[in-house]
Structure formats: C-alpha cells, structure tokens
Amino acid sequence: MKHSITLGKVSKFMGLGFLTTFKDLFTGKLEKEDFKNFLRKVVVPLASIFLFIGLWHAGSKSLYNIEADFRINKALEEQGQVAADAVAACIALGEDSSCQPNTLPSPAQVWGSYKSLLRDHNIISADKAAFIEKTAVLNEKRVADGKDPIVYTGRPSFVDQIFRSLQTVFAGFLLALLIAVPLGIFIGLSPTLKSSFNWFIQIFKPVSPVVWYLLVFMIVKTLLIGSSEDSSFTISFISVGLCSMWATLVNTAMGVSSVDKDYINVAKVLKLGTFQKIFKVVLPSSLPLIFTGLKITLSVAWMVLIAIELLAQSPGLGLFVWEEFQNGANDSNAKIIVAMFVIGIIGFLLDRLMLTIQNWVSFDKTDAI
Amino acid sequence: MAYLELNNIYKTYGQGENETEVLSNINLSIEEGEFVAIVGFTGSGKTTLVNLINGLLEPTKGEVLFKGEPVQGTSHERGVIFQNYSLLPWLTVGQNIFMAVKEAFPKKSKTELNTIVADYVDMVSLTPAINKRPKELSGGMRQRVAVARALAMKPEMIIMDEPLGALDALTRGNLQDEILNIWGKDKRTALLITNDVDEGIYMADRIIPLRPGPNATLGPEFKIDIERPRDKTEMNDNANFKETRNAIIEYLMDIGEERKSEAKAEFVLPDLSPKDFVNQFK
Ligand SMILES: Nc1ncnc2c1ncn2[C@@H]1O[C@H](COP(=O)(O)OP(=O)(O)OP(=O)(O)O)[C@@H](O)[C@H]1O
Ligand SMILES: [Mg+2]
C-alpha cells in the first residue's frame, strides 16, 4: 500500500498538528466548525505567547527601575547630588556599560542580541571561508609533503557552539544506547542478573551530572596520560552518556522481562532458537518501552550537557553561557537568555524527533500526544 | 500403547495458602488418528489441560506420554491453536505464518515456504489481508490466522483450544470442514476443546466432558457413532445424533445444577480470574 505523504500527515505524525490548521487557514479551506478548533489550536497559543512576552517586558522594566533607583540613591548618599545626577544621565544615555543596571534583559534586548549573534556568525563564517580558500593551495602541498594541514583556529561563533553541543549530545546518546540497550536486554532476560544489578542501578541512577563528570575526568585523565590531545570533548560526551543512560537501561530491562506470556508461549510452541526468540519476539515486543527510555535519555542528555560542558570547558552552549556570564558585557545577560531559548527549542525538537522515530518503528501506531 | 496418554494428572497453581488444585486425577488416552473433543464450562481448566499436553506446563503429579515418551517441553509434532490467537502484533498475517512454517521446515527454500504460506492463507480466505497486521483484523479473522498458522506446520497431532469461538456460524462451518479435511489427510490425531456440544458431535469420534473446577476431573465419555463424512443437515435427523446430543446436554445441565446448589449453600465465589477474558479484547 502506498501512502501519499502530505504536510498534514507528516505534521500530525510529528505531533505538530497545528501546522495543518495553518495551511487550511491560508488555503481558505477552513469550515465553520473548524473555527473553534482554530481558536483553540492557533489563537490561544499565540495569545499566550504574547501574554508571556508582555509580562516579561513589564517584569524586566520594573527590575531595571529598581536597580537604576538603587544606583542613583547610592551615589546620592555616598557622593552627593552631583554624582547622582551624573549616574542618572549615564543610565539614561545607555552607552557606558559600567553604569548600566545589570538585570533581567527585556525581550527587545534579547531579540537584538539574537540578531547580533547571527551577524557575528556571518562575519566569522566569511572569515573562515576566506581562510580556507587562502590556505587551500598551501594545505595541498603540506599534505603531499606529509605534514598536517593548517586549520582555522579562530573564535567559534554562536552557531558553531550549537553544533558542537549537538555533536557532544549525540555522541553521549550513542554511548548510552550502546551500553544501556544490550545491558538492559541481558538484565531483563535473566532474573539472576536482574537482582544482582539492581543495587547497582539504584545507587548510580540518582548521581548528579557534576559527580559523573568528576568521575569520568579522574579516569579519562589517567587513561590519556602523556597525550597532548584535548580530552574535554571525550570527557564531556562520556559523562553525558553515563549520566543519561539509566532511563534506557531500566526501561529496556523492564520491557524485556515483561513480554506478554502469550508471545513467549508462541515462541516456545514454534521452538524458536534463543537468538530468534530475542530478535523476533522479545525485542519487538519491548520496543515501545525501549523507545520511551531512549526519549528520556535524550532529553536528560541535553539537559545535563550544559552543566557538563561548563565544567569540562568543552566548547558548546554550556561554555558559551558560562563565558558570557563571566564576561559581564552590556549584552551578556541578553545573550544568556538567547542561549536559554535556543537550548529549550532544540530540546523540544529533539523530543519530537524521538517521538517521530518511535511512531515509525512501533507496531502500535497511537497518535502522537 | 495409546498415542497420547495422561495418567493420574494433577495440576495445582500457586503455593501455600493460595494453592488451588485445578485438575485432579485426569486420565485420558487417545489413539492414533482419533478425533477427541473435550467440552467444559469456562474456568474449569481446559486451557490448563491443553498446555499440559502441548508441553507448555508440567503436571504437578502424574505423567503425560506422547507416543510412549514422557512429554518434555513443546514439539513441532504437536501443533497448537491458542484460545486467544496469540499472533505477534508486529508481524503481518503472512509473516506470522511464515515464521512458523520456517521453523517447522528449516530445509525448505524460501519460495517453497512462501507457497505454503499462500496456500494456508487462502484456505482461511485471508488472501486479501495477507499484508495486514493483527490490529487491523476482526476477531474472527485473527482466529483464522491462528488456525492457518498451526495447520501450516503440518503437525502430527493438532491441539485446538476453542479455535472457532469468535466466528459466525457460516465461517465456523467452513473451518470445521477444513480442519476435518486436514485431519483426515495422512491420518492425523486431533484434540478439540470446545464449549459447543454440536460442534463436538459434528467433528469428534468421542466427546469427554470436563467437570467444573477446582479439582476438575473428566466425566464419562460419549462415543459418536456417525459415519464420516458427516453432513450437518442430515445429522439433525439421525437418531443416534439426537440421543447422544441429549445425553451430553443432560449431563452438563446436571453438573451445572450441582454447581449452582453448591454455590447457594456456601456463597463462595468460584476462583475465576479474567485473564483470558481481557486477552480476547486486545
Ligand atoms: N497461571 C495461572 N496461575 C494461577 N491460576 C491459574 C493460572 N492459569 C489458570 N489459572 C486458574 O485455573 C483455572 C482454570 O483456568 P483455565 O484457563 O485452564 O480455564 P478454561 O477452562 O480454559 O477457561 P475458559 O473456558 O474461560 O478458557 C481458573 O480458575 C484460573 O483462574
Ligand atoms: Mg481456556
């Protein structure tokens, strides 16, 4: 059977059903009964976004005023009227960062920072492209001579940081998958292994990402002793993997050990071999639970990534946030908020991605929530 | 020596306080080529009995002998049609049957196996649904897949646990004939669990009631001396048929009454768990 893949189907499959409503709106296909649906799925969410931005704006403004008043009053008390006037003027002018209130940035400031980060990215990309072009001929010669090519070592842009973070999280996720799924299958298949591993899982599951980082750091540092390579990426992705794999481990073990007795009976009556039984019966039947675990693993991995990158000084969004915080420039706070939104949106998209894959492989095609 | 022999079988579930004896002192012997039907009330232990014979369960006491050897685990020689279909939901109709056929005939080529699958799918008239998954089928269609899967393995003995329960009268009749057909070819042996006395009389050589559990035992057997091939409409006028049918129904009514009066006296609820009930609606 062939399915024609439409926008509606794909978006519904991915749990983005509201896109269909949007399309209907523009193609004029909206029926009267659909109006209520449209109100609920498009108007209300949009209104809530505007409400959120409005509240944020008002909140940041009042925080700004509190901090500004405090600075002026402090100057008045400590240095007199003239100094206070100077501070007030400085704040009103908004150029010198040293006198600016350092508080929650407004939505407009954040939007401005977002655009400036993109501009920065464009400049760096152009720079990089020019560099690569310039060194292309030279590098060819160097490679031919058996020497290492010259690589661009300039400052990474915000977008580069995002990709570094995604790399780290996928490497960590892959590690978690490769460890937790096979281990979970073994544990789930044998009650003996299950009881002997139980304490292990219970103890290590709640350990905080910071401690995992330190543990991995101790081990990797020793293993790579004498090597001049930068181990921060290795350390951070291993920490992310170890920290996030528990949900998959527990769910896989649970799925494998709770396969419907009827299916096991079928496997017995057909006399399937162990291998066949695992791959044809046990795994397909526990796939939904395994994927629920993987979904949790990926979102945990993304969540702890920021903290671990920050600790490991491994390039990525975590390090970006930390450096901006340390930097204390005029727009640092706004950049941190930009990073926050980017982290949130990517987290959401990763979750949707997993849901899509889960729906794809699952035999029980329930609608996405 | 009988083909299948059950000697003093006892089966208990649970341990300690929860221990219940479902089957008590079951004795049964089936000759090669015979078709035996067992009728019984729900919850009396029919599925338990079936699982003891196919090797999924072991008796607490007593022995099950198949061709003189004690039954140890399952075997391709004894094909099973499960009461709750037990199809694998992630495989299509064709794949469900293919998996079974492949295990039963490991030496056959893929094309040969596919031909067998197609034949049996056609036999249960599911060719249009061969690429569908169990979720997309009606209860009756699923049951037909389960029948096709068991028969396609060409077992020496066919064990059927209420295989036609969810079917309408017409399809039921067709499948009864198909099963009889396959049983008649190469002289196979069959054990049919059913709750339909007429079905038992139409298909079997002997009908044995299973008395309600706990401590279910087998009742007296009823021989069906009607020439094969049997004809449904003619049979209704057959004196032998009427007599046997009345005798069995009377016997079952009597134990039904017994059970009722017992229940009245003690007000104990029978120890029934709705396990199969739930599975039927999956
Ligand atoms: N695994 C089990 N553990 C404990 N008790 C069980 C188990 N399986 C069945 N029983 C009990 O044994 C009794 C007989 O069950 P069984 O499934 O054999 O009945 P049945 O005759 O097949 O019923 P039905 O006609 O509804 O299919 C029931 O009281 C049931 O509760
Ligand atoms: Mg049963």
Higher pLDDT: A187 or A81? It is A187
Q: Which residue of B has its CA nearest to A287?
A: B90
Looking at the fold, whether B169 and B63 belong to one and the same domain comes out as yes
pLDDT tens-digit series, residues A297-307: 999 999 998 88
The C-alpha atoms of residue B39 and residue A38 are separated, in whole angstroms, by 59
Nearest to B54 among A269, A280, A284 (CB): A269
B42 lines ligand 1 (CB under 6 A): yes
Looking at the fold, whether B44 and B26 belong to one and the same domain comes out as yes
Measured from the Cα of B271, ligand 1's closest atom is 29
Looking at the fold, whether B65 and B195 belong to one and the same domain comes out as yes
B19 lines ligand 1 (CB under 6 A): no
Higher pLDDT: A263 or A89? It is A263
Whether the pLDDT of residue B40 is over 80: the answer is: yes
- Strand boundaries in chain A, DSSP class E: none
The C-alpha atoms of residue B258 and residue A79 are separated, in whole angstroms, by 105
Taking the Cβ of residue A367 and every Cβ of chain B, the question of whether any pair is shorter than 8 Å is answered with no
Q: How far apart are the first and last CA of chain A?
A: 26
Last residue of a domain, one of B110, B129, B154: B154
Taking the Cβ of residue B132 and every Cβ of chain A, the question of whether any pair is shorter than 8 Å is answered with no
The C-alpha atoms of residue A76 and residue A69 are separated, in whole angstroms, by 10
How high does pLDDT run on average in chain A? 85
Whether the pLDDT of residue A14 is over 80: the answer is: no
**What is the model's pLDDT at position A327?**
81
Whether the pLDDT of residue A196 is over 70: the answer is: yes
User: In whole angstroms, how large is the CA radius of gyration of chain B?
Assistant: 19
Cis geometry, peptide bond prior to residue B229 (ω within 30 degrees of 0): yes
Q: Which residue of A has its CA nearest to B74?
A: A269
Number of domains in chain B: 2
Residue numbers in A near B131 (CB within 8 A): 1
Looking at the fold, whether B168 and B264 belong to one and the same domain comes out as yes
Q: How many CB atoms lie within 10 A of CB A272?
A: 21
Positive or negative CA dihedral for A237, A240, A243, A245? negative
How would residue A341 be classed by pLDDT, with cut points 50, 70 and 90? very high
What mean pLDDT is predicted for residues A269-286?
Answer: 92
Q: Among A5-14, A321-330, B12-21, B245-254, which is the least confidently predicted range?
A: A5-14
A289 CB burial (10 A radius; 0-12, 13-18, 19+): buried
Tokens standing for residue B31: 């000759």
Q: How far is CA B140 from the centre of its chain?
A: 16
Nearest to B103 among A1, A271, A284 (CB): A271
Looking at the fold, whether B19 and B95 belong to one and the same domain comes out as no
Nearest to B133 among A266, A281, A363 (CB): A363
- 8 Å CB contact between A216 and A238: yes
Q: What is the pTM of this model?
A: 0.79
Looking at the fold, whether B267 and B165 belong to one and the same domain comes out as yes
Output the domain CATH number for residue B53.
3.40.50.300
B165 lines ligand 1 (CB under 6 A): no
Query: CB under 8 Å to B112, separation ≥6 — which residues?
Result: B105
**What 3-state DSSP class applies to B236?**
coil
Q: Which of A1-10, A221-230, B145-154, B272-281 has the highest mean pLDDT?
A: B145-154
Looking at the fold, whether B161 and B149 belong to one and the same domain comes out as no
Looking at the fold, whether B166 and B39 belong to one and the same domain comes out as yes
The C-alpha atoms of residue B68 and residue B65 are separated, in whole angstroms, by 5
B277 lines ligand 1 (CB under 6 A): no
CA–centroid distance, residue B155 to ligand 2 (Å): 21
**What is the model's pLDDT at position B24?**
92
Shortest Cα distance, chain B CAs vs residue A180, angstroms:
23
CA–centroid distance, residue B274 to ligand 1 (Å): 9
Looking at the fold, whether B120 and B48 belong to one and the same domain comes out as no
The reply to whether residue B86 touches residue A265, judged by beta carbons under 8 angstroms, is: yes
Taking the Cβ of residue B72 and every Cβ of chain A, the question of whether any pair is shorter than 8 Å is answered with no
Last residue of a domain, one of B105, B130, B154: B154
- The complex scores an ipTM of 0.85
Looking at the fold, whether B253 and B213 belong to one and the same domain comes out as yes
Element (H, E) at B157: strand B157-161
Q: Which residues of B33-61 are buried (b: 16+ CB within 10 A; e: fewer)?
A: ebbbbbbbbebbbbbbbbbbbbbbbebee
Cis geometry, peptide bond prior to residue B70 (ω within 30 degrees of 0): no
Whether the pLDDT of residue B218 is over 60: the answer is: yes
**What is the model's pLDDT at position B269?**
60
Taking the Cβ of residue A283 and every Cβ of chain B, the question of whether any pair is shorter than 8 Å is answered with no
Taking the Cβ of residue B76 and every Cβ of chain A, the question of whether any pair is shorter than 8 Å is answered with yes
Q: Determine the structural domain holding residue B103 and report its residue range.
A: 85-154
B156 CB burial (10 A radius; 0-12, 13-18, 19+): middle
Looking at the fold, whether B215 and B270 belong to one and the same domain comes out as yes
- 8 Å CB contact between A201 and A246: yes
Return the percentage of chain A with pLDDT > 90, whole number. Answer: 36
Taking the Cβ of residue B75 and every Cβ of chain A, the question of whether any pair is shorter than 8 Å is answered with yes
Query: CB under 8 Å to A152, separation ≥6 — which residues?
Result: A128, A131, A132
Last residue of a domain, one of B124, B154, B184: B154
The CA-based angle B31-B34-B36, given to 5 degrees, is 105
Looking at the fold, whether B177 and B202 belong to one and the same domain comes out as yes
What mean pLDDT is predicted for residues B224-249?
Answer: 86
